[in-house]
Amino acid sequence: MKIAVIQGPNLNMLGVREQQIYGPMKLEQIHAQMKEFATQNNVEIEFFQSNLEGEIVDKIQECYGEVQGMIINAAAYTHTSIAIRDAISAVNLPTVEVHISNINRREDFRKENMIAPVCTSSIVGFGPFGYHLAMMGMLQILQEIQASQQMQAQAEATATE
């Protein structure tokens, strides 16, 4: 099982930018915690961060057929990017959206969320812990999909007997 973690613009500045909103943790620390959790659960994980919308779209498209699920913090592109929304929709993978701050309690422009409707779920406002919640949620989603596929295969095998 493999999960891609895709990080959007300015997340490479975590630990430096607006600590009162995003906290003191650096992105590398968040990724280290996620990697540890993934290792404990026998899950392969890969990380990607870009400040460029097109690179994020390319990465989402590269996930098709390569990973079983995605965790994404599209950051500011959450509120503006139809291209990222369309890429998530196109690959049709379980996708958990994460936001460190509660975007619903911030500036009005942050309340417009272009990607939530095409994501499996959203986790907002838990700080860096939201990534851990996203990992837990993604594992549950993937286990449910796997169990459903096994039940369907058994039902098909029984029907052909």
For residue range 48-66, list pLDDT tens digits in order. 999 999 999 999 999 999 9
**Structure token digits, residue 90:** 């196109």
Q: Is 99 a catalytic residue?
A: yes
**Average pLDDT score over the chain:** 93
- Per-residue pLDDT, averaged over 21-49, amounts to 94
Strand partners, 4: 46, 70
- Per-residue pLDDT, averaged over 68-87, amounts to 97
Three-state SS at 112: coil
Alpha helix locations (H) across 2-128? 19-22, 27-40, 53-63, 82-91
Cα–Cα distance measured from residue 102 to residue 123, given in angstroms and rounded to the nearest whole number? 9
**Structure token digits, residue 108:** 């009005």
**Structure token digits, residue 50:** 């870009």
Tell which residue, 124, 102, 128, 135, has the closest CA to residue 26: 128
pLDDT in tens, 94-139: 999 999 987 877 677 766 899 999 999 999 999 999 999 999 999 9
**Domain assignment of residue 100, given as a range:** 2-159
Cα–Cα distance measured from residue 143 to residue 145, given in angstroms and rounded to the nearest whole number? 5
Catalytic: which of 31, 64, 79, 99?
A: 99
Q: Is 131 a catalytic residue?
A: no
Catalytic: which of 22, 31, 131, 132?
A: 22
Q: CA-CA distances (angstroms) from residue 55 to 8, 62, 157?
A: 10, 10, 43
Residue 124 is part of a domain; what is its CATH number? 3.40.50.9100
Give how many domains the chain has, as a whole number.
Answer: 1
